[in-house]
């Protein structure tokens, strides 16, 4: 038996875990959850993920957990000896990794997810776009990316000079926005260099269009 990843084929949170598994060459079985049909809100599902969200993983000895970034950290630690380190061991390298991972959570995800909802998902679910909110999110995200460009002018990756989970965490939502024509990456030289670098990794290429 291999690790089971319960998720949705194109969900950003599911892809965050999948790219980490691919990066570490961990074989896994993807088990699709019917988000459209509401499977994730059933008692059988919330027994495994109390918030009724994907993803969660189950290992062959029965160990299971949820929260995409926490799962990625677990996988990176468990398979530390395989491929890239993804979470540095050195104290100060680890501190800069944590800095980058925190930036993703506070200065990136709220804006990219908001923009993805306003420009894509809301309409998919029959809602209407809130133009004012979308404009405000875009303006803030642009200023955040200006800061990213400065950071990436001084270091190769967002979590230091080596690829880490902090970089991988950026991939799913950034790709959603590019897919709907919101490109704030290519006009910023250091961000563009970084984005091309991380998106060209075989791990991401293998899953970027969904599982
Ligand atoms: N913090 C959670 C968020 C999980 C989450 O938002 N999952 C979304 C898909 S990316 C979901 O299940 N949405 C359906 C819902 O919330 O009803 C994680 O990172 O795993």
As for ligand 1, residues whose beta carbon falls within 6 Å of it are 11-13, 35, 40, 52-55, 67-69
pLDDT for the residue 125: 84
114 and 147 fall within a common domain: yes
Reported as type and span, the H/E element at residue 5 is strand 3-7
178 and 103 fall within a common domain: yes
13 and 59 fall within a common domain: yes
Domain count, the chain: 2
Q: From 30, 49, 78, give the residue that closes a domain.
A: 78
Across the 211 residues of the chain, what is the mean pLDDT of every consecutive 10-residue run? Answer: 96 98 98 96 98 98 98 98 96 98 98 96 90 97 98 98 98 97 98 98 97 96
Q: What is the ipTM of this complex?
A: 0.99
Looking at the CA of residue 51, tell me the nearest atom of ligand 1.
16
If you measure from the C-alpha of residue 101 to the centroid of ligand 1, how many angstroms do you get, rounded to a whole number?
Answer: 18
62 and 106 fall within a common domain: no
Q: Are residues 49 and 40 in contact, defined by beta-carbon separation less than 8 angstroms? A: yes
If you measure from the C-alpha of residue 53 to the centroid of ligand 1, how many angstroms do you get, rounded to a whole number?
Answer: 4
114 and 189 fall within a common domain: yes
53 and 113 fall within a common domain: no
If you measure from the C-alpha of residue 190 to the centroid of ligand 1, how many angstroms do you get, rounded to a whole number?
Answer: 30
Looking at the CA of residue 53, tell me the nearest atom of ligand 1.
12
Closest CA to 22 of 96, 61, 64, 76: 76
Mutate to test the pocket of ligand 1, among 17, 19, 53, 112 (most ligand atoms within 8 A of CB): 53
Taking the CA atoms of residue 102, residue 103, residue 108 and residue 111 in that order, the dihedral angle to the nearest 10 degrees is 80
112 and 152 fall within a common domain: yes
**Rg, Å, the chain Cα set:** 17
Q: Are residues 5 and 65 in contact, defined by beta-carbon separation less than 8 angstroms? A: no
Q: In what order do the strands lie in the sheet with 3-7?
A: 28-32, 3-7, 56-58, 64-66
* Cβ-proximal residues to 59 (8 Å cutoff; 6+ apart), any chain: 3, 4
If you measure from the C-alpha of residue 56 to the centroid of ligand 1, how many angstroms do you get, rounded to a whole number?
Answer: 10
Domain enclosing residue 141, as ranges: 91-205
Residue-wise pLDDT tens digits, 170-197? 999 999 999 999 999 999 999 999 999 9
pLDDT for the residue 26: 97
Strand, coil or helix: what is 3?
A: strand
Asked if residue 47 is part of any domain, the answer here is yes
If you measure from the C-alpha of residue 153 to the centroid of ligand 1, how many angstroms do you get, rounded to a whole number?
Answer: 32
* Residue nearest ligand 1's atom 11 by CA: 53
pLDDT for the residue 33: 98
119 and 43 fall within a common domain: no
pLDDT for the residue 179: 96
Query: What percent of the residues of the chain are helix, what percent strand, and what percent coil, each to the nearest 5?
Result: 55, 10, 35
Angle value at C-alpha 71, between 65 and 75, nearest 5 degrees: 115
Q: From 24, 50, 78, give the residue that closes a domain.
A: 78
CATH number of 114's domain: 1.20.1050.10
pLDDT for the residue 124: 84
């Amino acid at each position: 038996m291999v690790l089971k990843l319960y998720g949705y084929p194109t969900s950003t949170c599911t892809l965050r875990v999948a790219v980490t598994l691919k990066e570490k060459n961990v074989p896994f079985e993807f088990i699709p959850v019917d988000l459209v049909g509401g499977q994730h809100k059933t008692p059988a599902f919330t027994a495994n993920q109390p918030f009724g969200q994907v993803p969660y993983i189950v290992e062959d000895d029965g160990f299971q957990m949820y929260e995409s970034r926490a799962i990625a950290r677990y996988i990176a630690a468990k398979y530390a000896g395989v491929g890239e380190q993804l979470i540095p061991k050195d104290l100060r390298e680890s501190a800069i990794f944590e800095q980058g991972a925190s930036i993703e959570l506070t200065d990136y995800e709220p804006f990219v997810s908001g923009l993805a909802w306003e420009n894509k998902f809301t309409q998919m679910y029959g809602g209407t776009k809130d133009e004012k909110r979308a404009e405000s999110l875009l303006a803030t995200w642009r200023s955040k990316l200006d800061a990213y460009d400065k950071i990436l002018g001084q270091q190769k990756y967002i979590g230091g000079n080596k690829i880490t989970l902090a970089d991988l965490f950026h991939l799913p939502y950034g790709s959603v926005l590019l897919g709907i024509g919101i490109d704030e990456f290519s006009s910023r030289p250091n961000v563009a260099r970084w984005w091309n670098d991380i998106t060209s990794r075989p791990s991401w290429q293998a899953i970027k269009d969904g599982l």
